A and B are shown apart, each in its own frame.
Chain A
């Protein structure tokens, strides 16, 4: 990413482009320079937890929106899991009608401040943008995500319109889990006039948005503001309720008077590798490391927060996905002098977003590739002090199309560490299936089985969506499920018909 030229346009150039916006042909637009956003310098941002990119200014957003060719194909709409009418939204931005653009965007996306920041646009809307195709580079796509975040922030600062809700239907829905799937479903149901209560296990709503994704990628006050809007729409919140323990789904339906339940409990079961020494002190799951740092604010330990985190000198993150990048970059901001990423393939196969890998490297995270831990050893007090790494080479491509790592026999190296963050993925949490008789799960993955049209489970009146039905996925996918499920729940509440389910996913 650092190779591309990121020209910045002068204010005059921006104004000129905006002024003549109706005069450009598509050919002109293809030659038009992209409006690059600015970023905090690596040496500054490692010392704070502020966002890395600066927000686009009004002029920048407008000028970037003008680049949209408003093509007939509208690939971007199909590329968006919630099908935002992107060209219409960009047209309004180009005209400077931010309020109109916000309304357009919010027709299908209830959490744009969040998705604008955390969606992998380069594999979704921006990947299929005609600009990307014409230039053969997704870097050249219209910055749909940055414009989206701009719009959402603009709205927050210029007065949020609370969506109107239909008159109360008298029906009550329990949404289990306050992550993106649950929040989206709750918002849509409230708009349709249903009474909605979100039951959340943690003391705070937001799911991965508050405990996983770090502040420097998604400021928590933005998440709080979005959740606040749901409150104003009449959605009730019950934190500190672990469904399956505090109350079961059967009790919600039979005793507490709910007419339907939406299960959106996410993929909160950390995978470990079952290696000797994996239970040593300072060997964390990414979930634990990130929860301590984000939700519990461990980086303010001793002043404003009481939850400690390892005081590390040499930390290794195991994995190459987004969660691994978040863990490594969090460690950097916690002041860990040496942070390593241990990954079993090469950089090219890393599943993380390019932007995240790039940011991580800029911030000083070092990569140690083609290696995978096989054992951890500890000191006399049970703290991890080193690990044995198996060296790998790349073999044939596997099912994912990426080349498979193959151990090189006998090639074992010793690697000193005082902290390890295991970030190899998450599975579905079994708490709800275990306590809900008749709720079918996928035998292998533990995910709840639904049909992907109406998101109905094998239990009447029980719907499910988000990571709990697919395994770890994305925020926008979870939101898409929440939205479709809300429509399906609405229909069920009206006609009472249960299509039934139970086939394997």
Chain B
């Protein structure tokens, strides 16, 4: 059980949680994640640790509502209440070389949340970090100011052109690489499709690229194999072998298919949940109205 110390909505359907989890806060390293189960009967879902305060004993999670479990968390869990189960830190930590180099980090949408602690790790070791941050529209950026103050160069791009470069993160990536800028490593975190194209863009330039995979998981300890992805010649378990991998070896198409394994059931569960919430709200409203009348 972990107490929810702070909870706030930071953008449309994106919630920021600060949880009381002293052991995890002390132990976690950039790149690692936790698995949470919000309530009895709830599902176990992996979430990256976006930040941690070892002294306070707290960890930060940034969660986008994409289905029933995340909707329940955002709408029904309250500050001061509890997250039923939190286990971690899981996965291996990001490899951050001791000798400073030049890093290009690319984040799409919510990808900045898992990327942030990694950037912090690189900065602590004196690396020079350039970040490309992409979103559909300028109102959808999260953690943007804190990223800007942390890194050496921040490039913004939006799908709708409302701010910065009008286009995709991969286009900015390509321009940078073509302009002759030299990077020791690229790190891309975001939707699978974005990571796939970041890898394809980097390939002709031969720059090493690391990606962070977010597959479906249950235990997170290597016990079920549900998180496996095709990697190089064989399969890897993302929860223990990852979540970070050499992007050139990952079969993204298969991974995206695996992510969608339960999409039909999940859509229905999400829809049913929203309907139930709606019905509940209407009922409360109706009783309130009745009470007001009588």
> A residues bordering B, Cβ < 8 Å?
201-203, 239-242, 245-247, 268-270, 272, 274, 278-279, 281-282, 284-285, 287-288, 291-292, 296-297, 300-302, 304-308, 310-311, 381-383, 429-431
Q: How far is the CA of A282 from the CA of B37 in the complex (A)?
A: 23
**A311-B265 contact given A239-B85, A245-B89, A281-B257, CB 8 Å threshold:** yes
- B100 to A: closest C-beta gap in Å: 28
Q: How far is the CA of A301 from the CA of B68 in the complex (A)?
A: 12
- A485 to B: closest C-beta gap in Å: 22
**A270-B87 contact given A246-B27, A279-B230, A382-B257, CB 8 Å threshold:** no
9 contacts between A and B (CB under 8 A): A202-B219, A203-B85, A240-B86, A240-B87, A281-B258, A288-B226, A302-B268, A307-B218, A382-B257
**A291-B224 contact given A203-B85, A241-B87, A297-B41, CB 8 Å threshold:** yes
Which residues of chain B are within 8 angstroms of A239 by Cβ–Cβ distance? Answer: 85
Contacting pair A241 B223 (CB below 8 A): no
- B215 to A: closest C-beta gap in Å: 11
**A279-B87 contact given A201-B221, A287-B223, CB 8 Å threshold:** no
Which residues of chain B are within 8 angstroms of A281 by Cβ–Cβ distance? Answer: 257-258, 260-261
Dominant SS at the B interface? mixed
Contacting pair A306 B43 (CB below 8 A): yes
**A382-B254 contact given A272-B225, A281-B261, A429-B222, CB 8 Å threshold:** yes
Contacting pair B224 A240 (CB below 8 A): no
- Residue B44 at the A interface, CB < 8 A? yes
Which residues of chain B are within 8 angstroms of A287 by Cβ–Cβ distance? Answer: 223-225
- A207 to B: closest C-beta gap in Å: 10
Contacting pair A292 B218 (CB below 8 A): yes
- Residue B161 at the A interface, CB < 8 A? no
> B residues bordering A, Cβ < 8 Å?
23-24, 27, 37, 41-44, 68-69, 84-90, 218-226, 228-230, 234-235, 240, 254, 257-258, 260-262, 265-266, 268-269, 272
Which residues of chain A are within 8 angstroms of B69 by Cβ–Cβ distance? Answer: 306
**A245-B27 contact given A203-B85, A306-B269, CB 8 Å threshold:** yes
Other A-B contacts than A201-B221, A281-B260, A308-B262, 16 sampled, CB-CB below 8 A, are: A241-B87, A245-B90, A245-B221, A246-B89, A268-B223, A279-B228, A287-B224, A288-B225, A292-B218, A297-B41, A306-B43, A307-B218, A308-B269, A310-B261, A381-B260, A382-B257
Q: How far is the CA of A288 from the CA of B85 in the complex (A)?
A: 19
Q: How far is the CA of A300 from the CA of B269 in the complex (A)?
A: 12
Q: How far is the CA of A292 from the CA of B268 in the complex (A)?
A: 18
Contacting pair B272 A246 (CB below 8 A): no
Contacting pair B225 A274 (CB below 8 A): no
**A245-B88 contact given A287-B223, A291-B218, CB 8 Å threshold:** yes
Which residues of chain A are within 8 angstroms of B224 by Cβ–Cβ distance? Answer: 270, 285, 287-288, 291
Which residues of chain A are within 8 angstroms of B235 by Cβ–Cβ distance? Answer: 272, 274, 278-279
Dominant SS at the A interface? loop
Contacting pair B257 A307 (CB below 8 A): no
Contacting pair A308 B258 (CB below 8 A): no
Q: How far is the CA of A304 from the CA of B40 in the complex (A)?
A: 9
Which residues of chain A are within 8 angstroms of B226 by Cβ–Cβ distance? Answer: 284-285, 288
Beta-carbon nearest neighbor of B266 in chain A:
A308
Q: How far is the CA of A311 from the CA of B223 in the complex (A)?
A: 22
**A242-B260 contact given A296-B43, A302-B269, CB 8 Å threshold:** no
Contacting pair A268 B261 (CB below 8 A): no
Within 8 Å by CB of B222, from A282, A305, A431, lies A431
Which residues of chain A are within 8 angstroms of B240 by Cβ–Cβ distance? Answer: 431
Which residues of chain B are within 8 angstroms of A307 by Cβ–Cβ distance? Answer: 43-44, 218
A-B pairs, top 10 by smallest CB distance, nearest first, are A382-B257, A288-B224, A268-B223, A306-B43, A240-B87, A203-B85, A308-B262, A285-B225, A308-B265, A281-B261
Beta-carbon nearest neighbor of B256 in chain A:
A382
- B254 to A: closest C-beta gap in Å: 6
Within 8 Å by CB of A247, from B27, B223, B268, lies B27
**A203-B225 contact given A282-B261, A302-B268, CB 8 Å threshold:** no
Beta-carbon nearest neighbor of B24 in chain A:
A246
Which residues of chain B are within 8 angstroms of A203 by Cβ–Cβ distance? Answer: 37, 44, 84-85, 87
Which residues of chain B are within 8 angstroms of A269 by Cβ–Cβ distance? Answer: 222-223
**A242-B90 contact given A270-B225, A297-B41, A305-B41, CB 8 Å threshold:** yes
Interface centre among A239, A287, A308, A429 (most CB of B within 10 A): A308
Which residues of chain B are within 8 angstroms of A291 by Cβ–Cβ distance? Answer: 218-219, 223-224
Contacting pair A306 B225 (CB below 8 A): no
Beta-carbon nearest neighbor of A378 in chain B:
B257
Interface centre among B37, B85, B222, B224 (most CB of A within 10 A): B224
Contacting pair B257 A381 (CB below 8 A): yes
Which residues of chain B are within 8 angstroms of A310 by Cβ–Cβ distance? Answer: 261
Which residues of chain A are within 8 angstroms of B269 by Cβ–Cβ distance? Answer: 301-302, 306, 308
**A268-B222 contact given A296-B43, A382-B257, CB 8 Å threshold:** yes
- B157 to A: closest C-beta gap in Å: 31
Q: How far is the CA of A300 from the CA of B265 in the complex (A)?
A: 13
Contacting pair A268 B221 (CB below 8 A): yes
Beta-carbon nearest neighbor of B37 in chain A:
A203
Q: How far is the CA of A409 from the CA of B85 in the complex (A)?
A: 52
**A382-B221 contact given A284-B226, A306-B269, CB 8 Å threshold:** no
Beta-carbon nearest neighbor of A265 in chain B:
B221
